[in-house]
Structure 1
Amino acid sequence: MSKLQGKVAVVTGGTTGIGFATAKRFVDEGATVFITGRRQKELDEAVEAIGGDVVGVRGDVSKLPDLDRLYETVKVRGKIDVLVANAGTGEFAPLASLTEEHFDKLFDLNVKGTLFTVQKALPLMNDGGSIILIGSVASVKGTASFGTYGATKAAVRSLVRTWTVELKDRRIRSNVLSPGPIRTPLVDLQQPEAIARIVATIPMGRIGEPDEVAKAAVFLASDDSSFVTGIELFVDGGRGQV
């Protein structure tokens, strides 16, 4: 039997990379999946590529009215069993020259957007459900010019600790899934020499694939992880562990 048969899942930022791979895995495992994206064209393309029982809802998670519209759409299909707060962004900016605009952009999307994605989902979530926040190995590894991004992901880790306690009476599990360097559009934009430097820091000696993170998300979403809450699960080829 499929691990998510009959479940309803929401995956924000589901048009590319880890979000897309996770949504596809969830559909393959029997779930009805709602994905979000900010651009309608990419959203429509992702829905077509995923196939099966998937619904696209255009929106920006840093804008609260967009989140309200998302959950109004989800409500028509029922309660939420699994929520993956994946939407986020990353930019390099050295401390000496980073701007307020850079700071606000990353914290609005990665922290504010994540927090209110979860808060506004709670009335629709089934007791015993699973919340998965996408973190990053950047929260525990210092990388030059990547400090603001790392700080946003450290904040995400902190939120899960709090929510594990706050939501225990509803048996809602909250966990962080933290990828290392993964072959996503952001990584693909880097120069070959930059990729080589990244690979040199990974004990497994390669960049990860989005589907490797998606498989871990299926574990955290399913009953296979029924006694797992409050953790940070790294899918990073060992980068953050040594």
Structure 2
Amino acid sequence: MDLKNKIAIVTGGNSGIGFATARELILQEATVIITGRRKEAIDKAAQEIGAIPFVADQANVRDISKLSKSIQKQFGKVDILFINAGITGDPSLIENAVEENFDAVMDINFKGAYFTLSKFIPLLNEEASVVFLSSNTAAMRNPQSSVYQASKAALNSIAKTAAAELASRKIRVNTVSPGPTRTNVLNHFYGEDTANSIWDNLANNIPLKKIGTPEDVAKLVVYLSNGDASFITGSDFVIDGGMTL
């Protein structure tokens, strides 16, 4: 992979899949800008891997506009756009839905992702790569996850439309849809021992009997972002160990 001198944006790049992808892109010699809502967290992550930090909330269209203008002023054009930032929201049956939770999930996962793409389209180089982080749940119907699932299904639809709209510029747009991916989120809620037990139990329900890692997803995003994937666009890549078989 030759990503030297390529300019990459990773939203939500201070932890989890975003952080792993930013690190992998930097290992491939790309110049990487990571975004996040908390200055302390984004600065720490950027320093650790050699990225460029930018404080921006993907749920805020004004922040997205500021980000795109700053990138244009400093770098001119962008080669890789990984729209990764997102939240799961609170679990709830549809009949018990709360408007605040609906808005929070849709604002970052759907509206924010949509306008991030919209604001960056003029900055994308010919043959640039755009990747959305979706989820295998976009094709599933799990109770108490309707808002999150809908937000990711919407991303899959946007990606296909964008792939068609941008094909004349040879810009490729794809989605990656992980299943359970081992990050530190559960540790914060339950502690390390309980979190490990949850992951182990979940792995038993996956055909490959393992949980994915952020690095698994990162390597696929990086592959889709280089010239080896020049004939791939409008596709969704499910990375879930066979969970949706």
What TM-score, normalized to structure 2?
A: 0.93
- Superposed CA deviations along residues 93-150 of structure 1, whole A, max 9, x for unmatched, are 2223220111111111100000000000011110111110000011112222112111
2:64 pairs with 1:60: no
Cα RMSD after superposing both structures: 1.4
Provide the C-alpha distance between the structure 1 equivalents of 2:152 and 2:19, rounded to a whole number of angstroms: 20
1:149 maps to which residue?
Answer: 148
- Superposed CA deviations along residues 70-109 of structure 1, whole A, max 9, x for unmatched, are 1122121231001000010002222232201111111111
Any idea what SS the aligned residue of 1:35 has?
strand
2:225 maps to which residue?
Answer: 221
Q: Map of 1:1-242 to 2, 5 A cutoff?
A: 2-51=1-50, 54-75=51-72, 76-91=74-89, 92-188=91-187, 189=189, 191-192=194-195, 194-240=198-244, 242=245
Provide the C-alpha distance between the structure 2 equivalents of 1:79 and 1:122, rounded to a whole number of angstroms: 10
Give the C-alpha shift of residue 222 in structure 1: 0.6
Consecutive unaligned residues of structure 2, counting only runs of 5 or more, are: none
Alignment coverage as a number of residue pairs: 238
Give the C-alpha shift of residue 69 in structure 1: 1.5
> Structure 1 residues 78 and 15 mapped into 2: Cα distance closer, same or farther (>3 Å)?
same
Provide the C-alpha distance between the structure 1 equivalents of 2:199 and 2:64, rounded to a whole number of angstroms: 35
Give the C-alpha shift of residue 3 in structure 1: 2.6
The amino acid across from 1:49 in the alignment is E
Consecutive unaligned residues of structure 1, counting only runs of 5 or more, are: none
Aligned-residue sequence identity (percent) comes to 37
Greater fraction of residues in helix? 2
Any idea what SS the aligned residue of 1:174 has?
strand
Conservation of the 8 A alpha-carbon contact between 1:8 and 1:78: no
| TM superposition outliers: structure 1 runs of 4+ over 6 Å | none
> Structure 1 residues 187 and 231 mapped into 2: Cα distance closer, same or farther (>3 Å)?
farther
Conservation of the 8 A alpha-carbon contact between 1:13 and 1:87: yes
Comparing 163-172 with 186-195, greater Cα deviation is found at 186-195
What TM-score, normalized to structure 1?
A: 0.94
Provide the C-alpha distance between the structure 2 equivalents of 1:110 and 1:184, rounded to a whole number of angstroms: 18
Conservation of the 8 A alpha-carbon contact between 1:6 and 1:31: yes
